[in-house]
Structure 1
Amino acid sequence: MHSVSNPFQACNDIFFRPNGVFKAVGEKNNWSWFPFLIVMMITLAAQYLYVNFVDIEWFANINIAAQDAMSPAEEDQMRAFFTRNTLMLSQLVGAFFALTIVNAIFAVYLNLTTRSDDSHVFGFTDWYGFTWWVSMPYVVTGLIAAALIMFAGDHQISPAILAPLSLSYLLGVEMTSPWFAFAQAIRVELFWTIYLTMVGITQWTSFSTKKAAIIASAPYVVIYGIWGVFALI
């Protein structure tokens, strides 16, 4: 196994040789601030570029069309919300807290599911840092999204562009489709994250690869399975 000597190397090697990264992260303190800052900055930058570029009037209309039947007054109220400044604030604040809270919940899950390990030495804060390392694939798609937005010729672009490796973007699923959100959530980086989680668990515990894979994939299988069933109803 190759050695990782610093967090900058770790941020690069997490994409190619994650075993050594997780081994080093488990032994070092404060390295997880680096992926946290990178993931957060790239995510927020992509959100900023999108809101600053998209045709706001078109965006408001397409969101209204995606809702259930609304009265004219409700449509006007919703349309009034979609100013560029309001949308910018809601997108940036929403993205920040969504990432922070979701990773915290995932860290709680990992902390609980690995407690049966005889060599259990990692607590919640360790696993919370871990979640930012397994979130690094979202940096790749964030950069792709930013590039697509900057080179887009039409300002009427779907928010699916923020997830360029998702089914919604690749298959051109419209926002008005009941499957849009689900298709937006099914993306390449999701499976990449599951893989990194499995690798990290095998490095931080004595669990077998099979058990690590089950722990890494279980929450996604349950959540997306239930989501898919409800989408069919």
Structure 2
Amino acid sequence: MQQVSNPFQAMKDIFVKPNQVFATISETHNWSWIPFMCIAVIGALPIYAYFNFVDFSWYTELMVQAMAGDLSPAEQNVFRNVMADQSQSLWTGVFGSVFMLIVSNAIMALYLNIVTKADEECVQGYSDWYGFSWWVSIPVIVSSLLGILVVLVSQDSQLSPVSMAPTSFAFIFSVEMNSSWASLMQAIRLESVWVMYLTAVGLSQWTQLPAKKTYMIAIAPYVLIWASWALFIAI
């Protein structure tokens, strides 16, 4: 199998030749910094664009009603005052998005490191799987670019924050922010299917596990989390 020569080519080829990419990065070191930096920067751009465009007074009231609508007026005012600084909200969102990616990928790496112990020939350790998690997260770049586009072409500054994630079910099905299902619908995104596929492909290259098992491993965390979340909301 022809190997990929550099990390930038790997980022391009993972869209069309994922098997070659994962076969190559299993034997390389320090390439994962490239997708990490790209995902972190591009993933934060929709947030930056949104907070520089949105009618912040309207946004503040929207979030107060969505997150503190059941509280007393005095408690709502406290919440409102906390959100009063637009710049603070912007940078909290930017750094928060990067932090969440770092944490979620760390958890995914731990999961993959544990489940692949079933393959006695698997030599990858936790740090390898953490690097792996950034490669399978590359579809986030596509959804982020779409989010930037939605914000840039919008004519109405009273734009719902779900517009930053146009691949989410919340955006696709126009779920209101005050809905109890809003957070779950924002978490379920079309690119998640793509991430699952890349994870299964990567597992097939890095382990000797059967194809059926690699897909089960790739899909299981999403199904478990989404189903548990939906059950919690329903109850």
1:35-46 alignment, distance < 5 Å: 35-46=35-46
Corresponding residue SS for 2:4: coil
TM-score scaled by length of structure 1: 0.97
Cα displacement string for residues 64-90 of structure 1 (whole angstroms, at most 9, x for unaligned residues): 111341111111111112221120121
Corresponding residue SS for 1:20: helix
Corresponding residue of 1:99: 101
Corresponding residue of 1:54: 54
Corresponding residue of 1:69: 70
- Between 1:67-76 and 1:103-112, the stretch displaced more is 67-76
Corresponding residue of 1:170: 172
Tell me whether 1:157 sits opposite 2:159 in the alignment: yes
Corresponding residue SS for 2:129: helix
- Give structure 1 stretches of 5+ with no counterpart: none
Corresponding residue of 2:34: 34
Shift of 1:7: 0.9
RMSD: 1.1
Shift of 1:46: 1.5
Corresponding residue SS for 2:200: helix
Corresponding residue SS for 1:142: helix
Corresponding residue SS for 1:53: coil
Give the one of 192, 195, 203 matched to 1:193: 195
Tell me whether 1:81 sits opposite 2:82 in the alignment: yes
Cα displacement string for residues 33-68 of structure 1 (whole angstroms, at most 9, x for unaligned residues): 110011001011121111121111111111111134
1:133 and 1:25 map into 2 onto residues whose CA distance is 9
Letter in 2 for 1:228: A
Shift of 1:3: 2.8
Corresponding residue of 1:16: 16
Letter in 2 for 1:3: Q
Shift of 1:181: 1.0
Letter in 1 for 2:38: I
Shift of 1:150: 1.2
Letter in 2 for 1:201: L
- Give structure 2 stretches of 5+ with no counterpart: none
1:116 and 1:230 map into 2 onto residues whose CA distance is 31
Give the one of 135, 138, 146 matched to 1:136: 138
Q: Identity across aligned pairs (percent)?
A: 43
Letter in 2 for 1:179: W
Shift of 1:2: 4.3
Give the one of 210, 226, 231 matched to 1:229: 231
TM-score scaled by length of structure 2: 0.96
2:76 and 2:55 map into 1 onto residues whose CA distance is 18
1:135 and 1:215 map into 2 onto residues whose CA distance is 16
Corresponding residue of 1:208: 210
User: Would you say how many aligned residue pairs link Structure 1 and Structure 2?
Assistant: 233
Detail structure 1 runs of 4+ shifted over 4 Å in the superposition. Answer: none
1:12 and 1:125 map into 2 onto residues whose CA distance is 23
2:75 and 2:56 map into 1 onto residues whose CA distance is 18
2:150 and 2:91 map into 1 onto residues whose CA distance is 22
Shift of 1:116: 2.0
